[in-house]
């Protein structure tokens, strides 16, 4: 198998349309910012929801992240990718939120989900429905700080240094939390992953 | 294998170990089936975790942009008016108000001003005197204010000229007439002196909240091209595909390349234009005298910048953009917008960077879409060819 299969978002290049919108928003145009929200809401909400695991909290975090982005748009340099920036604001808010008592392990209610934030991924090829729900549960049982690091790494694909900066922890802590999260998930998933890993291997050779 | 070793496996998966350790772990994994299996497990966990759906109640994403919009408070950026603008404005205000008060008092008292305020060398009262007095204490920013405007607020000539502080012997009729010709002739070094350390550039270096840093080059070279996220990005682009940039790419009739306008020409042409504008402005109402003076100064500074590298061209481009955006209806806004495009053009031609080209084309397209306040569309079209 090949490691490093996930690139970093930080290399994203801002499209001309996007920076045009941002330039307009920087001049105070709310409709341009509305467009920006439309472009990034799924991604921002996805990060927030995966960390806080409750829709109403994820909604709060998402709105607050966009509001803060709006307020500090002046400091945003055109040409930089906007997505990672706003997602990191959201991740930071989400983590601070899950640190607060209100958000203790509310968990995702079953079947509330109707709008997917991402396209159907390769999960079907990797895990069956049962495996997916086991994974979902295992994610919910991770300590929040491990979950946040895992989400930033595997969903947002940030580097250790970026995760460390976003969450205000050291890169060494990022490394160990990520490892622990992977260990726990691997343990929970081992009956399913064995087959999946075999399939991966078979597919790769 | 110890837990520590497994932790290294996890970091190896992310390409986050120092180079020697990376190769050591790679060698070990190649020889150790147990660790190879563990690594495969970690990778599968990641993949599965990333693929888990994050879903929202239906209708949520349809409503959210509108909801957000209603929560946006009006944002007028403080950075558009850097701190020194206010200092300059305050200095000018003082310079204008003080002589007015003084002259009022002396005319009321109908008696000679105290001797200490009346140096023997003081020239007889002239029309120019009040204006000169106003300029002197405020230093460069105030001097930059067009004389015509100052006369509007100056005391009427009939009032007895208040005494002048002995220090204010600087303004000569020479300088006065220079001022009347416009400010293109003002010495560039004077501008430099009065100008505080680049407010705009300083703003740029402010790291945005949670600003991204590029990953280490080593890490970059090891990762493969993006899949899932670039799909998202592509979809996002499609959603807004009809925004400005397309128009920018519209083919111009006559292909004519880089030689269209050299930068030096552009600058000369621009400063000529500035003078015309200034005459018109000078006759306009003096409501914004203070701000204008500061803006004039900043504008002249921007015109005097001589970039040497692509990065400097880019920086100048963005400074000009901020300047234009700071006062979109200001006296120099149109010239600044034009100059943003020209400088952007130079940045692109000298660096050959596609991103610079995109910025240039976008700026040009936005300019061509403007209304009557865009007086240099022909020149922009020329650059586009």
User: Phi, psi at residue A116, to the nearest 5°?
Assistant: -75, 140
Which residues 289-328 in chain B show a CB within 8 A of chain A? 318, 321, 325, 328
Verify that A153 and A189 share a domain, yes or no. yes
Verify that A67 and A147 share a domain, yes or no. no
Which of B34, B61, B212, B217 has the highest number of chain A CBs within 10 A, making it the mutation to test binding with A? B212
Verify that A72 and A130 share a domain, yes or no. no
| Among chain B residues, CA nearest to A176 | B7
* Residue ranges of chain A whose pLDDT lies below 70: 1-16, 98-127, 193-205
- Exposed / middle / buried, residue A23 (Cβ in 10 Å: 0-12, 13-18, 19+): buried
Question: What is the sign, positive or negative, of the torsion defined by CA atoms of B286, B291, B292, B294?
Answer: positive
Which of B12, B41, B235 has the highest number of chain A CBs within 10 A, making it the mutation to test binding with A? B41
Decide if A189 is inside a domain: yes
Smallest CA–CA distance, residue B50 to chain A, in Å, is: 5
> Residue B17 and residue B232: Cα distance in Å, rounded?
29
Verify that A31 and A95 share a domain, yes or no. yes
Domain with A190 in it: 121-205
Verify that A79 and A138 share a domain, yes or no. no
Q: What pLDDT digit, counting tens, does each position of B234-256 carry?
A: 444 444 443 433 334 444 433 33
Verify that A81 and A134 share a domain, yes or no. no
- In this structure, are residues A117 and B54 in contact, taking their beta carbons and an 8 Å threshold? yes
Q: Is the pLDDT of residue B112 over 70?
A: no
On chain A, the residues whose CB falls within 8 A of the CB of B362 are 16, 19-20
User: What pLDDT is recorded for position B120?
Assistant: 44
Verify that A40 and A81 share a domain, yes or no. yes
CATH of the domain at A40: 1.10.1740.10
Decide if A186 is inside a domain: yes
Verify that A98 and A176 share a domain, yes or no. no
> Residue A108 and residue A129: Cα distance in Å, rounded?
16
Cα B215 to Cα A12, A124, A128, A147, B244: the distances in Å are: 12, 31, 34, 22, 31
Please spell the DSSP secondary structure of A40-105, one letter per residue.
Answer: HHHHHHHHHHHHH--HHHHHHHHHHHHHHHHHTGGGSPTTS-HHHHHHHHHHHHHHHHHHSGGGTT
In terms of Cα–Cα distance, which of B108, B167, B146 is closest to B289? B146
What are A89's two structure tokens? 């604001």
> Residue B385 and residue B26: Cα distance in Å, rounded?
53
Decide if A54 is inside a domain: yes
Verify that A65 and A128 share a domain, yes or no. no
- In this structure, are residues A91 and A61 in contact, taking their beta carbons and an 8 Å threshold? no
Smallest CA–CA distance, residue B155 to chain A, in Å, is: 40
Decide if A96 is inside a domain: yes
Q: ipTM of the predicted structure?
A: 0.78
Q: Considering only the beta carbons, identify the residue of A46, A135, A160 that sits closest to B14.
A: A160
> Residue B13 and residue A186: Cα distance in Å, rounded?
14
Q: Considering only the beta carbons, identify the residue of B10, B36, B223 that sits closest to A6.
A: B223
Chain-chain contact of B75 with A73 (C-beta, under 8 angstroms): yes
Q: Which residues contact A64 (CB under 8 A, 6 or more apart)?
A: A93
User: What pLDDT is recorded for position A196?
Assistant: 53
Helical ranges in B147-244 per DSSP H: 147-153, 173-181, 188-194, 199-205, 217-222, 228-239
Smallest CA–CA distance, residue B3 to chain A, in Å, is: 10
Residue B329 or B78, more confident? B329
C-alpha atoms less than 13 angstroms from C-alpha of A76 in its C-beta half-sphere: 28
Verify that A99 and A33 share a domain, yes or no. yes
Which of B2, B8, B37, B43 has the highest number of chain A CBs within 10 A, making it the mutation to test binding with A? B43
User: What pLDDT is recorded for position A80?
Assistant: 82
Q: What pLDDT digit, counting tens, does each position of B252-288 carry?
A: 433 333 333 344 344 434 443 433 444 344 344 334 4
Q: Considering only the beta carbons, identify the residue of B69, B220, B231 that sits closest to A30.
A: B69
Q: Last residue of a domain, which of A105, A129, A147? A: A105
In terms of Cα–Cα distance, which of A71, A156, A8 is closest to B223? A8
Decide if A181 is inside a domain: yes
pTM for this one?
0.46
Decide if A89 is inside a domain: yes
C-alpha atoms less than 13 angstroms from C-alpha of B262 in its C-beta half-sphere: 4
Q: Which residues contact B187 (CB under 8 A, 6 or more apart)?
A: none
CATH of the domain at A143: 1.10.10.10
Domains in chain A, number:
2
> Residue B195 and residue B250: Cα distance in Å, rounded?
40
Average pLDDT rounded to a whole number, residues B12-31: 92
Decide if A2 is inside a domain: no
Decide if A9 is inside a domain: no
Q: What pLDDT digit, counting tens, does each position of B59-110 carry?
A: 999 999 999 999 998 876 544 555 556 667 677 677 766 666 666 555 545 4
Q: Is the pLDDT of residue B308 over 90?
A: no
Chain-chain contact of B51 with A126 (C-beta, under 8 angstroms): yes
Give yes or no for B232 touching A (CB within 8 A): yes
Of A35-49, A181-195, B146-160, B356-370, give the range with the top mean pLDDT: A35-49
């Amino acid at each position: 198998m090949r490691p490093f299969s996930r690139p970093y978002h930080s290399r994203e290049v801002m499209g001309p349309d996007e920076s045009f919108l941002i330039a307009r928003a920087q001049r105070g145009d709310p409709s341009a910012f509305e467009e920006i929200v439309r472009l990034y809401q799924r991604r921002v909400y996805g990060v927030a929801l995966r960390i806080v695991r409750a829709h109403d909290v994820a909604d709060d975090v998402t709105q607050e992240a966009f509001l803060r982005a709006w307020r500090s748009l002046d400091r945003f340099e055109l040409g930089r990718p906007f997505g990672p920036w706003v997602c990191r604001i959201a991740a930071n808010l989400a983590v601070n939120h899950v640190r607060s008592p209100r958000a203790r392990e509310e968990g995702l209610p079953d079947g509330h989900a109707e709008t997917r934030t991402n396209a159907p991924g390769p999960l079907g090829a990797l895990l069956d429905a049962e495996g997916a729900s086991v994974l979902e549960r295992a994610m919910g049982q991770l300590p929040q700080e491990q979950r946040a690091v895992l989400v930033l790494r595997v969903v947002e694909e940030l580097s250790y240094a970026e995760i460390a900066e976003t969450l205000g922890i050291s890169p060494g802590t990022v490394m160990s939390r990520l490892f622990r999260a992977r260990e726990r998930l691997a343990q929970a998933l081992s009956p399913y992953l064995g087959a999946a890993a075999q399939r991966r291997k078979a597919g790769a050779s | 294998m110890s837990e520590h070793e497994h932790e290294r496996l996890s970091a190896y998966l992310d390409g986050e170990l120092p180079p020697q350790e990376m190769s050591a772990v790679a060698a070990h994994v190649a020889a150790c089936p147990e660790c190879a299996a563990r690594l495969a497990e970690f990778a599968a966990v990641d993949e599965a975790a990333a693929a888990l759906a994050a879903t929202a109640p239906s209708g949520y994403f349809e409503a959210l942009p509108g909801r957000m919009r209603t929560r946006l408070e009006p944002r007028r950026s403080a950075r558009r008016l850097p701190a020194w603008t206010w200092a300059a404005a305050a200095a000018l205000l003082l310079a204008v108000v003080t002589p007015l008060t003084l002259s009022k008092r002396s005319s009321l008292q109908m008696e000679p001003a105290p001797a200490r305020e009346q140096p023997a060398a003081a020239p007889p009262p002239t029309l120019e005197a009040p204006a000169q007095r106003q300029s002197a204490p405020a230093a460069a920013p105030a001097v930059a204010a067009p004389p015509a405007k100052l006369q509007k607020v100056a005391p009427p000539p009939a009032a007895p000229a208040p005494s002048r502080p002995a220090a204010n012997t600087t303004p000569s009729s020479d300088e006065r007439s220079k001022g009347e010709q416009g400010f293109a002739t003002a010495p560039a070094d004077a501008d430099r002196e009065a100008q505080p350390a680049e407010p705009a550039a300083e703003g740029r270096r402010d790291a945005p909240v949670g600003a991204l840093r590029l990953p280490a080059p080593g890490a970059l070279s090891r990762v493969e091209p993006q899949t899932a996220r670039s799909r998202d990005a592509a979809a996002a682009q499609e959603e807004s595909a009809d925004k400005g940039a397309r128009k920018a790419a519209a083919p111009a009739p006559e292909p004519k390349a880089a030689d269209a306008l050299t930068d030096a020409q552009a600058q000369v042409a621009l400063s000529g234009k500035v003078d015309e504008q200034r005459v018109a402005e000078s006759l306009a109402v003096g409501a914004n005298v203070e701000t204008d003076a500061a803006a004039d100064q900043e504008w002249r500074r921007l015109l005097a910048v001589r970039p040497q590298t692509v990065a400097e061209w880019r920086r100048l481009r963005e400074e000009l953009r901020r300047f234009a955006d700071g006062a979109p209806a200001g006296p120099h806004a149109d010239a600044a917008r034009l100059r943003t495009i020209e400088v952007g053009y130079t940045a692109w031609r000298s660096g050959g960077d596609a991103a610079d080209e995109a910025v240039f084309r976008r700026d040009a397209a936005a300019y061509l879409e403007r209304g009557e306040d865009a007086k240099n569309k022909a020149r922009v079209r020329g650059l586009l060819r």
